[in-house]
Structure 1
Amino acid sequence: MAVTRDQVTELLDSLLVKYNKRFRPGHGETPLYIRAHILIRSMGPVTEIDMSYSMQLYYRQVWYDKRLAFNLGNITELQLNNKFLHKIWVPDTYFLNGKKSYQHDITVPNMFLRMRKDGRLYTSRRLTIRARCPMVLKRYPMDEATCHLNLGSFAYSTDDIFYIWAHGDESVEVTSVTMTQFEMMEIKVSNATLHRNHALYSILGVSFYFTRNLGFFILQTYLPCSLVVSLSWISFWINRDAAPARVLLGVTTILSVAAISMTVREGLPRVPYATALDIFLNVCLVYNLSALIEYAGVNYFTKTGPGDPPENEEDEYEITETEKALLPLDKMNTHTLEHVDAQNMMESCVAAPQPPSQTLKSKKYGGSCLNAFWNCLTGNTTYRYAKNATMDKERGLSVSRIDRVARYFFPLSFATFNFFYWYLYLTPRRF
């Protein structure tokens, strides 16, 4: 015999006559068990700036309410809309670490109820969850993120309600999820008990394990910065007298790396520690600064600019009679040396053959690398003029030994840094 709509309406009305939705099923008896199940439709984005992530899911839960058991012919289950849910008791489930989550209501509230004749109730809701996801960004962007989702009852303790996963470890299903920066590696579920307000509360947990995709950062940050650093090494092949070219190249590369650093840090929180990306960018900046400082050393040790000569006559360069005859009359008494190749800082560490007339001055102003470096920092004019007086004047504008060493030292040291950097941060580690 077919059941009419009027019979179903009469049944639902009769079930609600003496129904009190303010009390949970089995009030005052054993705790009520609520079985939960989650189907994730989409995931992301995971944002570092506010340490959160979002996802869209169907949250389903099952419980028994004997007050709604019925017997109506051959009907074993009724499927009802959201309006009937407002007339019965439903679990007050909430997400403990959620923030700005909401239920979809377009075009109508996206939820339904299935009621079986033995009092079994099954509900499904379409939700968008935004939850907190604390991250440690020390390995950023080679880091791994672990985001948790915890749910439980807002008011009922374990004396009234217990939450359990409906299908064990398979209770959280994921459809085809694609994210821009992250890749989901693993999902784990858990049951826990939370002590709060002098009572114990049943909590269900889901842990999402993500690993970050590195391709974007290689193309947009690592590769450009490495090329800019390599560009700064071109100055080692530029003539030492081309000061505007070498200085402009050094300043341009420094500003380029600084601009990239500012752009990258806009999407990161102001954490009190250095990330892996910060370390790389700062090292690139140091290499660009070092290339500019290297030219300052070349300029100091190999060129003497205009100015008064040292007061100590022993350190002055004396012009020979032959040289005086070759000079114009208006420059006959000038003791200025222009565009002469001199000994550089590296020659302070490695002895070089010198003319006999310059032996005393070489011994006096040779010394160690540390001595040369100290005189460079203090701007010792006497030392600088004396170093220029010991030069080989027949060599002309040859390449500075500092530049020669820098051509090998900078690329090799930067390659060594990259080897250890990528080996350290790309080593797999457990979540």
Structure 2
Amino acid sequence: MNSLSAIDDITAEYNIIVNMDLEWYDSRLTHPCGKEPVVLTLEPPQYTRIWTPQLGVPDVKEPGSVEFNAQNVVAFLLRTDGYILIRSRLQLTLFCELNFKNYPFDSQICSVSLQSRSSSDDNIVLQWRETHAFRNADRFQMIGYKMVGYNLLNDSVHLVDTFSDFNVSRVQVRLNLKREWTHFLMDVYLPSALFVSMSWLSFWLEISAAPARVTLGNTAMLTLVTNSMTTREKLPKVSYIHALDVWTAFCTCFVFASLIEFAVVSYIYHSSRNRRHHRKQSQQSLTSMTTLSSSSTSSMTSISKYLDVQEPDNNKIVVPKYIAGDCNRKFSRESGDSFRNHYRHQYHCFKSIFYIRNPQSLANSIDRKCRFLFPLCFLLFNIIYWLIV
């Protein structure tokens, strides 16, 4: 085998250039002349004067490309004991059944078969030579794949035509090819990992810098989607998920999760301002209600005091006024307590023990934790991914 071109992943085609030696004995050409047979080296076109088997390659794209002719026959030897050797140089375009489940770390098995086209295995039997049956040329070239081994098979296949069906002899070589995936590290894996890492920079920006954080996340998301679409264009539309799809999907999920995290912390960060706005509106409505009836002034004042909440401070605990009191107070029916008021009082005391933070501190705390949580999860995913593939 002289060369094997890269397999076209979309059409599943590849080109191969081989030198094929076809040997057989024909008793009709036996001419005894001494103890040792005499070897005659004839001109290649002279092969048309003898009988030659009709052979074919089943997976070839162009039928008839293995026919012997003056262009592909390069040597013709004839021995006086009936031995015949025809060497031909063939350039074939073959089909290969591909499986992309582990793409781009996949291994493919492509077969090159040679079988009789018109004679059954009772008349013609094809077999590999016992020694040096298959080998690569000294300057063997291969692009995109690396051949890690091969298997030689001799068998028979059932052939069905219009008039009859019979078994024909076949020889087959199965090439074990492994894709070279080093360039995928530079073209796909490293850029996508960098864009995922770029989305983590938003955790170090202020929550109030919404345009910068959103722009950073959207840029990483659009770049990953574009890179994924470009990679998918180089593959056929298959119904299953391959290894590169898993990597791209998880990278996209990490970037999308950073956007969701910003939406959550932004909502928490501005929640106190929204509450103050609603409280101001409620107090204004209560004030307007006092103008309707002077008799309800005292009741409205008590309600507004009941709803009054301390203004949040950056480092202080936010505790409503109505729950202020002794948290160690026990439940007593004589004091007029109810179960609902008692457990409500204990619940707010329990929250105050664990230092309820104001929304701004809580949002900033989530951002600080995500600075380490996201890289740790991505590192864990990489360990699992590269161990499996």
Q: How far apart, CA to CA, are the structure 1 residues paired with 2:195 and 2:237?
A: 26
Question: What is the letter of the counterpart of residue 148 of structure 1?
Answer: S
| Alignment deviations for residues 227-271 of structure 1 (CA, whole Å, 9 cap, x no partner) | 110000000001111111111101100111112112212211111
**3-state DSSP of counterpart to 2:240:** coil
Q: Does 1:56 align with 2:17?
A: yes
Q: Check the 8 A contact 2:76/2:86 in 1, yes or no.
A: yes
| Pairing 1:22-421 to 2, within 5 Å after superposition | 40-70=1-31, 76-100=38-62, 102=65, 108-167=71-130, 170-175=132-137, 176-197=139-160, 198-303=165-270, 309-310=277-278, 353-357=317-321, 392=358, 400-421=364-385
Question: What is the letter of the counterpart of residue 98 of structure 2?
Answer: M
- Relative to structure 1, is the Cα distance of residues 236 and 315 closer, same or farther in structure 2, using a 3 angstrom cutoff? farther
Q: Check the 8 A contact 1:113/1:123 in 2, yes or no.
A: yes
**1:85 CA displacement:** 2.2
- How many residue pairs match? The answer is 329
- Relative to structure 1, is the Cα distance of residues 120 and 358 closer, same or farther in structure 2, using a 3 angstrom cutoff? farther
What TM-score, normalized to structure 1?
Answer: 0.68
Q: How far apart, CA to CA, are the structure 2 residues paired with 1:77 and 1:130?
A: 34
| Alignment deviations for residues 287-319 of structure 1 (CA, whole Å, 9 cap, x no partner) | 11111111111111111588995499779999x
**1:151 CA displacement:** 1.0
Q: Check the 8 A contact 1:341/1:398 in 2, yes or no.
A: no
**3-state DSSP of counterpart to 1:400:** helix
Q: How far apart, CA to CA, are the structure 2 residues paired with 1:398 and 1:262?
A: 39
User: What is the aligned-residue RMSD (CA, Å)?
Assistant: 3.6
- Relative to structure 1, is the Cα distance of residues 66 and 306 closer, same or farther in structure 2, using a 3 angstrom cutoff? same
Q: How far apart, CA to CA, are the structure 2 residues paired with 1:195 and 1:272?
A: 31
Q: Structure 2 regions of 5+ residues with no counterpart?
A: 287-311, 325-343, 349-355
**3-state DSSP of counterpart to 2:142:** coil
Question: What is the letter of the counterpart of residue 319 of structure 2?
Answer: P
**1:187 CA displacement:** 1.3
Range 131-140 or range 238-247, more displaced: 131-140
**1:392 CA displacement:** 3.7
Q: Check the 8 A contact 2:57/2:113 in 1, yes or no.
A: yes
- Relative to structure 1, is the Cα distance of residues 312 and 273 closer, same or farther in structure 2, using a 3 angstrom cutoff? farther
Q: Check the 8 A contact 2:266/2:363 in 1, yes or no.
A: no
Q: How far apart, CA to CA, are the structure 1 residues paired with 2:269 and 2:285?
A: 15
| Alignment deviations for residues 11-50 of structure 1 (CA, whole Å, 9 cap, x no partner) | xxxxxxxxxxxxxxxxxxxxxxxxxxxxx11122122212
- Relative to structure 1, is the Cα distance of residues 341 and 49 closer, same or farther in structure 2, using a 3 angstrom cutoff? farther
- Relative to structure 1, is the Cα distance of residues 134 and 358 closer, same or farther in structure 2, using a 3 angstrom cutoff? farther
Q: How far apart, CA to CA, are the structure 2 residues paired with 1:64 and 1:126?
A: 21
- Relative to structure 1, is the Cα distance of residues 402 and 47 closer, same or farther in structure 2, using a 3 angstrom cutoff? same
Q: Check the 8 A contact 1:229/1:253 in 2, yes or no.
A: yes
Question: What is the letter of the counterpart of residue 82 of structure 1?
Answer: P
Question: What is the letter of the counterpart of residue 225 of structure 1?
Answer: S
- Relative to structure 1, is the Cα distance of residues 224 and 298 closer, same or farther in structure 2, using a 3 angstrom cutoff? same
Question: What is the letter of the counterpart of residue 172 of structure 1?
Answer: F
Q: How far apart, CA to CA, are the structure 1 residues paired with 2:159 and 2:91?
A: 26
Q: Percent identity?
A: 29
Q: Check the 8 A contact 1:104/1:110 in 2, yes or no.
A: no
| Alignment deviations for residues 32-88 of structure 1 (CA, whole Å, 9 cap, x no partner) | xxxxxxxx1112212221223321110111112233334679992222233222232
- Structure 1 partner of 2:297: none
Q: Check the 8 A contact 1:79/1:115 in 2, yes or no.
A: yes
| Alignment deviations for residues 192-215 of structure 1 (CA, whole Å, 9 cap, x no partner) | 111222311111110111222221
What TM-score, normalized to structure 2?
Answer: 0.75
Q: Structure 1 regions of 5+ residues with no counterpart?
A: 1-39, 319-339, 344-351, 368-389, 426-431
